[in-house]
Amino acid sequence: MNCEKSRELFAEYLGDEISKTNARGLREHLKSCSGCQQELALLVRTRSALRVGWPEEPVPQNLNLEFSTPAGQSFWSRLLPSRLPGVAWASITVTACFLICLATLALLQAQVRIEKGSFSLSFGRVARAVAGPMTINGTQPDVEAVKILLDQSLKQFELNQSARLQQALQETKLEWESKRDADFARVAKELQYLESAQNVVWKETLTNNSNMETLARAYAQAGYRPPQQ
């Protein structure tokens, strides 16, 4: 065994966990190596000095720890007093349940209604009524009366709609007819003006001989022949 290997075993020796084989090998090496022998002796003395120099001492004061409740419940026992009467615990439990129910209903946007002894529960947003409750002479109608009223209102609404539609059609028709007559009159007037204007032009053209000659040449070049009288 060399010095390097020997010093690797120092920790095991100092920790009282060296095997018999390693102890035998170390002992053999130390017999022949004064350096390792001296080093190990100093380390052993250092270890002894530590043990002697700083012995165990008692805990300076009482730890003030008293464990009586089951382990794992200490968190709650710190939050809540452990010796409340049963009634107090019951009321705390009921209140907690009630608050949890309220929170749940609020979370679900629940709406609770009690009308004429009937209970209804709905969840989510519900459209609110614009008008108040329907009344007839200050009293609430029954279902049949409401149906009749609804039928009447519907029929009246349909009649009104039909009348308004007829009136609109009639007005549109009259408007279009008057518009059409005016257009016809305007077109007739424009045609009359155009016809008279053309007549004037023709008359002026016929009276202008040079124009006539130019026109006759143009016709002759195009291959037209004057109609035979």
Partner 1 sequence: MGLIRLADGDLVRRVVRGDGSAFNLLVARWEKKLFNFAYRLTGDRDDAFDICQDSFIRAYEQISQLKDPSKFPNWLFTIARNQCVSFRRSEARMPKCENKEDEDVLNLEESLTGSSQVRIDGPHHFEQNELRLIVERALAQLPFEQRETIVLKVYEGLKFSEIAEITECHISTIKSRLYLGLTQLKKILANQRGAS
Task: Output 42 or 201, the one with its CB closest to partner 1.
Answer: 42
φ, ψ of residue 209 in degrees (nearest 5): -65, -40
- Would you count residue 11 as binding partner 1 (CB under 8 A)? yes
- Per-residue HEC secondary structure of 18-42 comes to CCHHHHHHHHHHHHHCHHHHHHHHH
Q: Using CB under 8 A, which of the segments 41-49, 142-150, 160-168, 172-180 binds partner 1?
A: 41-49
Token pair recorded at residue 226: 């004057």
**43 or 105: CB nearest partner 1:** 43
* Residue 9 C-beta-side C-alpha neighbours within 13 Å: 21
Q: How far is the CB of 63 from partner 1 (least distance, A)?
A: 5
51 binds partner 1 (CB under 8 A): yes
Does the protein bind partner 1 through residue 52 (CB under 8 A)?
A: yes
Among 2, 15, 131, 137, binds partner 1 (CB under 8 A): 15
Exposed/middle/buried for residue 36 (C-beta within 10 Å: 0-12, 13-18, 19+): buried
Smallest separation, CB 10 to partner 1 (Å) = 6
20 binds partner 1 (CB under 8 A): no
CA distances from 206 to 52, 193, 209, 227 (A): 153, 20, 7, 16
Q: Is 12 exposed, middle or buried (0-12, 13-18, 19+ CB in 10 A)?
A: middle
CB of 92 to partner 1, least distance (A): 22
Stretch that binds partner 1, among 20-28, 71-79, 142-150, 199-207 (CB under 8 A): 71-79
- Which residues contact partner 1 (rule: CB under 8 A)? 7-8, 10-12, 14-15, 17, 42-43, 45-47, 49-54, 56-61, 63-72, 74-75
